[in-house]
């Protein structure tokens, strides 16, 4: 890495790292991923009626891409280590358009779930490889700035995937809404193709054995397992809340339509502030102390969602969103601290557990919803939050 040719590359990438085009490509990669990941969340009540599917089952349109992501994420890094970064990012962004269109044209609920699953198979090749590209092709302040741009793209994409779909469904139907998401994905793929420069520091790595050999080590690390547990609970909580709150707000006394349901997801944008704030607080006070604040904040937000007035419910969702993304920041940044070696494999396991948690959050609470409605979902998430807090207090220790 210290050869003259690589030094020259480093200089070139310092210039590239600060360029507008590279920042635009990173933002587009983040947006392309998460505008698709949760695109059906705001229209679950509409899909339930359109296909005659129960509320608990229609969450499969959220679970399917999350489960596919969990399945493919562990090997994504190894594949990109072998074949390169840019070609996988761009190729996956282009291929993602196909299942996005087919989901809009689905003639049955099973077909819709299938194409959502296929979407999920494409997504890790965008977001995990983009993170690797940023780490490899930039350095110093450029890396931090570009990572922040990418994170902003993921958050904004998650918001747009819900808000745009809800608004478009209100006026033109859910099929048009999903086609619109496919069109935006195409625009993001074009931006990536035009703005993302070929990698210069990449060197192919052959073989999966090193990563596989590291898995037993990681699974024997209690602090790492606790971190995986927190990550599982974070996305489980998030998906449970924002899947089943739709059915509550679509029913009496609120009767919110798809556009209004999509608009409620504006609370997601608060995470663009709270995520970096959580990182700074963790660095100053330690992760356990911040977790002692984040988990009770989530519980307070859950309690507010049980209230009658809509503004109380929305404020509760805001508190939940801010606290959960702080929890995500705490867990994500801790993996590299406590992984004894083979950090890429540790991160791969983290991503898998994280998305398994999200996929289960879309379906497991279904029985509680049918039996106890929203209070049942609140009780489940509160229980998960208490477990997460217990894990953090017991295993995270004093390491910052």
What would the pLDDT profile of 119-165 be if each residue is shown by its tens digit?
A: 999 999 998 888 888 878 887 777 767 877 888 899 999 999 999 99
Confidence of residue 2 (pLDDT cuts 50, 70, 90): very low
According to the model, what pLDDT value does residue 152 have?
85
Residues 187 and 230 in one domain: no
Confirm whether 229 is domain-assigned.
yes
Q: Which of 315, 312, 319 is nearest to 298 (CA)?
A: 319
Total domains in the fold of the chain: 2
Residues 167 and 229 in one domain: no
Confidence of residue 14 (pLDDT cuts 50, 70, 90): very low
According to the model, what pLDDT value does residue 11 have?
40
Q: Within 10 A of 188 (CB to CB), how many other CB atoms are there?
A: 27
CATH assignment at residue 46: 1.20.1250.20
Q: Which of 39, 83, 78, 46 is nearest to 62 (CA)?
A: 39
Structure tokens given for 317:
């969702």
Confirm whether 160 is domain-assigned.
yes
Q: Is the pLDDT of residue 5 over 50?
A: no
Confirm whether 386 is domain-assigned.
yes
According to the model, what pLDDT value does residue 296 have?
97
Q: Is the pLDDT of residue 8 over 50?
A: no
Q: Is the pLDDT of residue 28 over 90?
A: yes
Residues 333 and 385 in one domain: yes
Confirm whether 122 is domain-assigned.
yes
Confirm whether 3 is domain-assigned.
no
Residues 186 and 247 in one domain: no
Residues 365 and 267 in one domain: yes
Confirm whether 179 is domain-assigned.
yes
Structure tokens given for 279:
């990182």
Residues 191 and 246 in one domain: no
Range of the domain at 48: 10-198
| CB half-sphere exposure, 282, CA atoms < 13 A | 25
More confident residue, 278 or 178: 178
Residues 184 and 217 in one domain: no
> 42-46, 277-281, 307-311: which has the minimum mean pLDDT?
277-281
> 102-116, 207-221, 347-361: which has the minimum mean pLDDT?
207-221
What would the pLDDT profile of 68-120 be if each residue is shown by its tens digit?
A: 999 998 788 778 877 888 999 999 999 999 999 999 999 999 999 999 999 99
Confidence of residue 260 (pLDDT cuts 50, 70, 90): very high
According to the model, what pLDDT value does residue 75 have?
82
The 3 state secondary structure assigned to the chain is CCCHHHHHHHHHHHHHHCCHHHHHHHHHHHHHHHHHHCCCHHHHHHHHHHHCCCHHHHCHHHHHHHHHHHHHHHHHHHHHHHHCCHHHHHHHHHHHHHHHHHHHCCCCHHHHHHHHHHHHHHCHHHHHHHHHHHHHHCCCHHHHHHHHHHHHHHHHHHHHHHHHHHHHHHHHCHHHHHHHHHHHHHHHHHHHHHHCCCCCCCCCCCCCHHHHHHHHHHHCCHHHHHHHHHHHHHHHHHHHHHHHHHHHHHCCCCCCCHHHHHHHHHHHHHHHHHHHHHHHHHHHHCHHHHHHHHHHHHHHHHHHHCCCCHHHHHHHHHHHHHHHHHHHHHHHHHHHHHCCCCHHHHHHHHHHHHHHHHHHHCCCCHHHHHHHHHHHHHHHHHHHHHHHHHHHHHHCCCCC
Q: What is the mean pLDDT of residues 360-369?
A: 94
pTM of the model: 0.86
Residues 350 and 262 in one domain: yes
Residues 109 and 241 in one domain: no
Residue linked to tokens 């193709």: 193
Cβ atoms 257, 177 nearer than 8 A: no
Residue linked to tokens 């805001």: 318
User: Which domain-ending residue is among 148, 172, 198?
Assistant: 198
According to the model, what pLDDT value does residue 400 have?
46
Cβ atoms 396, 294 nearer than 8 A: no
Residues 316 and 341 in one domain: yes
What would the pLDDT profile of 179-198 be if each residue is shown by its tens digit?
A: 999 999 999 999 999 999 99
Confidence of residue 335 (pLDDT cuts 50, 70, 90): confident
Confidence of residue 7 (pLDDT cuts 50, 70, 90): very low
What would the pLDDT profile of 233-253 be if each residue is shown by its tens digit?
A: 999 999 999 999 999 999 999
Q: Which of 16, 41, 25 is nearest to 242 (CA)?
A: 41
According to the model, what pLDDT value does residue 267 have?
94
Residues 185 and 325 in one domain: no
According to the model, what pLDDT value does residue 228 have?
94
Tell me what the pLDDT averaged over the chain comes to: 89
Confirm whether 207 is domain-assigned.
no
According to the model, what pLDDT value does residue 333 have?
79
Residues 394 and 328 in one domain: yes
According to the model, what pLDDT value does residue 205 have?
65
User: Which domain-ending residue is among 163, 198, 233?
Assistant: 198
Q: Is the pLDDT of residue 208 over 80?
A: no
Confirm whether 141 is domain-assigned.
yes
According to the model, what pLDDT value does residue 321 have?
95
């Amino acid at each position: 890495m210290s050869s003259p040719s690589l030094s020259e590359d480093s200089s070139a990438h310092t210039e590239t790292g600060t360029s507008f085009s590279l920042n635009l490509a990173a933002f587009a990669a983040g947006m392309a991923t998460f505008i698709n990941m949760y695109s059906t969340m705001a229209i679950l009540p509409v899909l339930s009626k359109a296909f005659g599917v129960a509320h608990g089952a229609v969450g499969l349109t959220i679970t399917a891409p999350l489960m596919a992501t969990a399945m493919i994420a562990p090997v994504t890094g190894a594949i990109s280590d072998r074949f390169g970064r840019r070609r996988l990012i761009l190729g996956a962004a282009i291929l993602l358009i196909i299942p996005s269109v087919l989901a809009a044209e689905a003639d049955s609920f099973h077909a819709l779930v299938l194409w959502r699953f296929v979407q999920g198979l494409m997504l890790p090749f965008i977001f995990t490889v983009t993170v690797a590209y940023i780490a490899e092709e930039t350095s110093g302040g450029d890396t931090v700035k570009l990572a922040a741009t990418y994170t902003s793209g993921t958050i904004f994409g998650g918001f747009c995937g819900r808000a745009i779909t809800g608004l478009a469904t209100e006026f033109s139907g859910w099929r048009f809404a999903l086609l619109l998401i496919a069109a935006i994905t195409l625009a993001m793929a074009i931006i990536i193709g035009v703005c993302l420069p070929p990698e210069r520091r990449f060197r192919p790595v052959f073989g999966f054995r090193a990563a596989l050999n590291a898995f037993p080590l990681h699974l024997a690390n209690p602090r790492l397992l606790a971190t995986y547990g927190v990550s599982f609970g974070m996305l489980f909580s998030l998906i449970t809340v924002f899947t089943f709150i739709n059915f509550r707000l679509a029913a009496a006394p609120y009767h919110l339509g798809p556009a209004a349901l999509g608009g409620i997801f504006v609370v997601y944008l608060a995470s663009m502030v709270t995520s970096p704030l959580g990182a700074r607080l963790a660095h100053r006070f330690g992760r356990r102390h911040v977790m002692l604040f984040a988990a009770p904040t989530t519980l307070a937000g859950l309690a507010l969602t049980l209230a009658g007035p809509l503004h109380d419910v929305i404020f509760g969702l805001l508190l939940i969103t801010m606290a959960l993304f702080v929890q995500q920041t705490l867990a994500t940044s801790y993996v590299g601290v406590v992984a004894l070696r083979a950090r890429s494999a540790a991160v791969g396991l983290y991503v898998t557990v994280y998305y398994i948690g999200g996929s289960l959050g879309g379906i497991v609470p279904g029985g509680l919803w049918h039996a106890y409605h929203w209070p049942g979902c609140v009780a489940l998430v509160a229980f998960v939050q208490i477990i997460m807090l217990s894990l953090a207090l017991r295993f995270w220790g004093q390491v910052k």
